[in-house]
Amino acid sequence: MRSSIPVAMILAAGRGERLRPLTDDVPKALLQVAGQPLIVHHLMALASAGIERVVINVAHLAEKIQR
């Protein structure tokens, strides 16, 4: 089913304070869950919902997510 929502936003700018020490060097969005980075699960769910454009808000360790 196609979504009528043209674009989605993923908020991935937090420091992941409650997940320390896991997030000291890895952004929360890139932590592995069931063999894939958490953000991949979000992107796949959005794609399944018909969302084709996604904006990802980054800050903490942003350069790792941008790669």
| Cβ neighbours, 10 Å, residue 30 | 19
Contact call for residues 26 and 61 (beta carbons, < 8 A): yes
Which tens digit of pLDDT belongs to each residue from 13-55? 888 889 899 889 999 999 999 999 999 999 999 999 999 899 9
Does residue 1 register a pLDDT over 60? no
Element (H, E) at 32: strand 32-33
* Domain residue limits, the chain: 7-66
d(CA 9, CA 15): 18
Question: Considering the entire predicted model, what is its pTM?
Answer: 0.81
